[in-house]
Amino acid sequence: MSSDQVLCPALFLAAPASGQGKTTITAVLARYFCSQGKRVTVFKTGPDYLDPQILAQASGRPVEQLDIWMAGEHYCRQRLYEAALCSDLILVEGVMGMFDGTPSSADLAALFGIPIAIVMDVGGMAQTAAALVHGMATFREDIKIAGLIANRCGSDYHASLIADALPSDIPLLAALSREERVRLPERHLGLVQAAEMRDELEEKLVESLTWLHQPRNAPLLTLPEPVLFRADLKGQIKVGQHLSGKTIAIARDEAFSFAYAANILLLQQLGATIEYFSPLRDSQLPQSVDALWLPGGYPELHADELAKNQSMKKEILAFYLSEKPILAECGGMMYCLDHLHTLDGISYEMLGLISGEGIMRDKGGCQGMQTAMLPEGVVRAHSHHRSMTQGTPDPIAYGKRQRHSAPGEEIFRCKGLTATYLHLFFPSNPEAIAAIFSK
């Protein structure tokens, strides 16, 4: 084997639909192998902020996104190779249904040769689960199915009905019982953030080890077969120290937490020093800051606290008036508006850096992949929100949708502030990101 190749056990967890238990099972599996002294690296398919927080707590390591469109094939291949060099196991959690989206979870698994464990909620079915697995396994010829993880299985007899009906080459890896104690709480954009339930999540992970460690789940508790991962020089991020000597302060608390680990790593590779602050609790910005990043999150759930923190609002306003760089994404952009209107009809005063109102909605919103058409260059991104804006100024540009000709999300620019609903994936254009933060 050449030096640019490495073998590492790996498993891709996919499902016929959302809500089958992928995140819970991926997290518990990561924690189990960590408890056995293994070094586990977990990746999440697609643009997701909430699942990676939980998976990171379970594995004790940062969780990065793998997405062929957003990050590129070369980047994904290189990140998998680098993970394989230092891991005993790689787990990849899929997104939505296995064949949903372009690219899909199946596309990713096929491209990198990772066997797929199908996670399926088998409540209310028996042999039909085997029929669905058979259909998924034969839908494409370029995927390999490692087996079925039957979630919410009623009994040993229920498990045997499913196992006996499965194709001979597809084993039943596990039959997990119905257990509400391990269920993860959700809200309007997905799972509740790990930081908001860290102790509760830890208890669930500990309880889940007993849930997982049952005799009928033995095949899942054995390391999967090794996968050959190859280096990809085109996927290596080679950047200059364009942000050397710069300090970037990133908002990070319960209201603002949607920041890719890959984005923070890139800023550091560009030479930046990273500081964190809380718009909820801090009264001042970190000292000697050259730029701010206000990422997305849940400002609507903390609007009253954000509005009352006058000292922080004054600090950020002064920073804005100094015309230093600020990047505000989604929830961060909502914080920059005049007011934020919550679902209960209350209006809270925000920063007022951009004229306009942010209005929460209980239905609708926007989600999907877009390219941010910035003056500094194009950056791959995605949108996911349950709100709208009114009374905002004319944008300088719009996002370009992945598969639709209608204009995407608005992009605003005023003084040093760049604000948009889009969540940017920094590694897709390091030079443009460096330019935004070094105006």
153 is catalytic: no
3-state SS, 175-202, equals: EEECCHHHCCCEECCEECCHHHHHHHHH
Structure tokens at 309: 């923190």
**pLDDT confidence of residue 90:** 98
Domains 5-233 and 239-437 share a fold: yes
**pLDDT confidence of residue 204:** 83
Helix (H, G, I), strand (E, B) or coil at 293: strand
On whether the CB atoms of residues 418 and 327 are closer than 8 A, the answer is yes
**pLDDT confidence of residue 191:** 58
Please give the CATH number for the structural domain made up of 5-233. 3.40.50.300
Q: DSSP state, 295?
A: -
On whether the CB atoms of residues 256 and 301 are closer than 8 A, the answer is no
Q: Does 3.30.70.990 match the CATH number of domain 239-437?
A: no
Please report the DSSP string for 10-77 in residue order: EEEEE-SSTTSSHHHHHHHHHHHHHHTT--EEEEEESS-SHHHHHHHHHHTS--EEE-TTTT-HHHHH
Q: Tell me which of 34, 153, 330, 336 is the catalytic residue.
A: 330
Let me know the angle formed at the C-alpha of 207 by 206 and 211, rounded to the nearest 5 degrees.
Answer: 120
Distance CA 263, CA 34 (A): 26
Residues with Cβ within 8 Å of residue 341, at least 6 apart in sequence: 347, 348, 357, 358, 359, 360
**pLDDT confidence of residue 194:** 54
Distance CA 159, CA 174 (A): 9
Site of tokens 């050259």: 290
Helix (H, G, I), strand (E, B) or coil at 93: strand
On whether the CB atoms of residues 195 and 254 are closer than 8 A, the answer is yes
The bridge status of strand 291-294 relative to strand 326-329 is parallel
Distance CA 349, CA 357 (A): 10
**pLDDT confidence of residue 240:** 86
Distance CA 387, CA 77 (A): 35
Q: Kindly list the domain boundaries of the chain, sorted by start residue.
A: 5-233, 239-437
Distance CA 169, CA 396 (A): 56
**Segments of the chain with pLDDT less than 50:** 187
pTM: 0.91
Residues of the chain by 3-state class (helix, strand, coil), percent to 5 = 35, 30, 40
On whether the CB atoms of residues 88 and 39 are closer than 8 A, the answer is yes
